[in-house]
Structure 1
Amino acid sequence: MKGKINEDKVVNVIVYILLAFIGIVTLYPFYYTIICSFNDGLDLMKGGVYLWPRKFTLSNYELFIGDEGWRHAFFISVARTVVGTVLCTGFTSMFSYALSRNNLMFKKGYRFLVIFTMYFSGGLIPYYVLLRSLGLLNTFWVYVVPGMVNTFFVMTGINFFASIPESMIEAAKIDGAREIKVLTKIVLPVSKPFLATLALFAAVGQWNSWLDSAYYVRDASLQTLSFKMMTTINQTLATAANADVAGQMSQANTATSFTVQATAMAVSMIPIMCVYPFLQKYFVQGMMIGAVKE
């Protein structure tokens, strides 16, 4: 018995060491980005900055905030994230609730269409033509309208809403409640794990998305923070587009292209890192939706 206890202790130590190593490898890139954003750019070029800023400064953030282009891109990203998350959560939950009802006509046909679109798409060119015909190109709504329904979470929501006791819904209907009232007063209040998980995935997807800004938007005033960050990272100081940025950096006298990029990445990470702790308990429950059938 004593030998087994010692063996368990050895296994626990090994597990903790592995978890600590994985945690450090996973988190350190984020931490390094943050400390670079707070370090003097010219001092950072000397190397040797690994654990904390060697020469602390806020000039990188001052340059970032002082640039109207970055501020506007940040506002567009926040707007598309808030609007896109609300619309995606609302429409996806309503659609999946409707498909979970046994008395829905052509229920199997609707489910087939949902599953089919999960695995097959028309391709980039037909998708572009569709967006053009709808008048969404080069508008803010091209960011939020195509993602109003998430087909993966539609299937997840069907399983979740089907697990709600039918007696609760029937009792509400007997009391005279219509379908929309049943959804808002009975179903959604008990669906927090599903809604929180859906909202978190939708928000992260909207915040990090930049391909739609690259393909479907030409107006510079509609560029998102992620797209602007990607273009800045890929630019070189030799390009004409980076000449203005280089001039700003020389005026700041402390910032470099890398520190400005690190600042942009830090700003893009912080909102999601602040939101996740509040949704974590629902997120863990929501990930188990449909995993176990009784």
Structure 2
Amino acid sequence: MNLKAARGDLDSRMFDLVNMILLSLFTIVILVPLWNVVVSSFSSGRALAEGGFLFWPSEFSLENYRAVFRDESIWQSFLISVSKTVIGVVTHVFFCAMVGYGLSKKYVRGRKLYMTMGVITMFFSGGMIPTYLLIKSLGLLNSFWVYIIPALLSFYDVIILMNFFRNVPDSLEESAKIDGAGDWRIFLYIMIPLSMPAIATIALFNGVGQWNDFMTTKLYITDQSLYPLQMKLYEIIVQSQTQSMQNSGSFAIETTTKGVQLATIVITTMPIVVMYPILQKYFISGMMLGAMKE
């Protein structure tokens, strides 16, 4: 019996060792390229032109970032990105939570029909041209609300929240109704606070999607004052490529197209990198609880 216990303990330690080695290698594979991108973004054009893998900038330079921030309208684009991300996340989460809370009740009339319609939208869409015509007919072209209204509902998120609401004991809701609380009060003051892990998970997914969204601007926006950061940085990269071709001498010494591209990568990913650790503690619990049913 002791031999079996000792062998089981050895197997467990071997598994932990192998697991730690594999995870360490996986972490290195992820971190090393990221570190190279950050370091290269702070390198001069001459250092980047020499090529090679950089662990530390041989010629430290902020010219790549100056090239990005030289356009003063980038701050307007940054404001648009922050605004559409914050407003989009809040409205998306609140709208999906309302729909999920309603569909979590079996006594709701037409519930099966609504569920069927929602599931269909997860697998089929109208296509690019019909969607464009719909956006145009709604008057959302060259409008800030084109970032918000079409992204209000995701039935995948509705299902996560719906299953989460089902796990809340019915006795809690019944007690609130006995105390005189209505459906809105129960939803706002009981269901929303209890579902914060699921809401934080959905907010993280939707926030990343809103921040990185590029195609919405490409398809529906021509007014440059409504360009988000992603679209503005795309223009800066195109301009730097043109400038590099026209002036391959002094420009190549101070900065390069590659350097500008690396700087834009750092700028666009930094807000998400900062926000993710804040929401990480809710991430796993939100996904697990929202995916389980009684």
TM-score by length of 1: 0.89
SS at match of 2:262: helix
1:1-294 matches, cutoff 5 A:
1=3, 5-230=9-234, 233=237, 237=241, 242-243=242-243, 250=250, 254-294=254-294
Give, in angstroms, the shift of residue 285 of structure 1.
0.4
String of CA shifts for 1:246-275, please: whole Å, max 9, x gaps: 77x957952221111111110111101111
- State the 1:289 CA deviation: 2.6
What's the CA shift for 1:150? 1.4
- Distance, in Å, in 1 between the alignment partners of 2:43 and 2:244 is 22
1:149 CA displacement: 1.2
**Does the residue aligned with 1:104 lie in a helix, a strand or coil?**
coil
**Once the 2 structures are TM-superposed, how far is the Cα of residue 151 of structure 1 from its aligned partner?**
1.1
Q: Is the 8 A contact 2:64 2:255 kept in 1?
A: yes
Percent identity of equivalent pairs: 39
Length, aligned pairs only: 290
Q: How far apart are 1:172 and its partner, in Å?
A: 1.2
TM norm structure 2: 0.89
Output the CA distance in 2 between the equivalents of 1:275 and 1:282. 12
**Distance of aligned partners of 1:271 and 1:140 in 2 relative to their CA distance in 1, 3 Å threshold:** same
RMSD: 2.5
2:196 corresponds to which letter in structure 1?
K
Q: Going by fraction, where is helix more abundant, 1 or 2?
A: 2
Shift of 1:293: 3.8
Distance change >3 Å, CA 235–CA 13, structure 1 → 2 = farther
C-alpha distance in structure 1 between counterparts of 2:98 and 2:189, whole Å:
13
Query: Would the aligned equivalents of 1:33 and 1:262 in 2 still touch at CA under 8 Å?
Result: yes
Distance, in Å, in 1 between the alignment partners of 2:143 and 2:84 is 11
89-98 vs 9-18, greater mean Cα deviation: 9-18
The Cα offsets for residues 187-223 of structure 1, whole Å up to 9 and x where unpaired, read as 1111111110011011000011101111111112222
